[in-house]
Structure 1
Amino acid sequence: MLIRLNAAQPYALGLFRFVIGLIFAIHGASSLFGVFNGRDTEVGAWPGWYAALIQLVCGTFVALGLGTRIAAFLASGSMAYAYFVVHQPEALTPVENGGETSAIFCWAFLLLVFTGPGALALDRLFKAGTTAQAPADETRREQSPAVSV
């Protein structure tokens, strides 16, 4: 049973990445364009408009698996900023200051920075098309670990 769960891990991570990125992108779109019961943010207003732009762009990139680690790093940082600048001064804990969403997004994106995109990411599709020789090279390195390349 554990072996089957381990085999599904890249797909579960890919699904996690897609859902988190999609929710983040929708949140940004709702602030930028007033869709999904959101409110329009005035263009160029600090920090709301820039935060919404980061949410839309980084969320889309994360959902698609394009530059996942970089996009997730930027998204995590923006949510850390939101938590510590907007929410934390109001009260100590996220439950008290309304910062649960910012805190959860921050940690979810930070996890993706370290784990990568998982399965079904567009980055992997582009890498597969450009580096057809890479798998054979990796196999040779695994077979002879004492040889340094």
Structure 2
Amino acid sequence: MNQSFARWQPFALSLLRFITGLLLLQYGVAKLFKYPPVPTFAKVELFSLYGAAGSLELILGALLMLGLFTRPVAFILSGEMAFAYFLGHVFKGATPVWLPLLNGGTLAIAMCFTCLYLATSGGGPISLDRVLRRDR
């Protein structure tokens, strides 16, 4: 059974990369283009902290989906997600709330470490990095 699953590992890596990029891209679209309308992102301006995060998520999420410059893109996104967790979740109120279940930061942590993994493992066999021979 291990050999059967191991055979699919490279393709699962490409799928993980694509889905992670898609999830980040949707946040960028919601923040910058207000679609779909999410009340939290209704007043996001381009030249604000949320706007900068949305720009990173939109552009780098698309690059991640394509598998282009996967390692540096994923590393930057990992840092952005760590930044988002500490600025947007831990210090929401007057008192810091460290438990992700209570501060709503579970997804930010999961995306941070998923992107960190992608930064170390690359884009997988179905990626533009592989096609352009940047990542072997």
Q: Aligning the two structures, in what range does the TM-score lie when normalised by the shorter sequence?
A: 0.7 to 0.9
Structure 2 letter corresponding to 1:17: R
Aligned to 2:98: 92
In 2, Cα distance between the equivalents of 1:72 and 1:30?
20
Which 5+ residue runs of structure 2 have no aligned equivalent? none
| Matched residue, 1:103 | 109
2:4 match: 4
Aligned length: 128
Aligned 1:37-116 pairs, distance under 5 A: 37-38=37-38, 39=42, 41-45=44-48, 47-89=49-91, 90-116=96-122
Work out which structure has the larger RCO, using CA pairs closer than 8 Å and 6 or more positions apart in sequence. Answer: 2
Seq. identity, %: 34
For 1:23 and 1:92, the matched residues in 2 are separated by 24
Question: Which letter does structure 2 place at the counterpart of 1:5?
Answer: F
| RMSD between aligned residues | 1.6
How high is the TM-score relative to the length of structure 2? 0.87
TM-score under structure 1 length normalisation: 0.80
Larger radius of gyration: 1
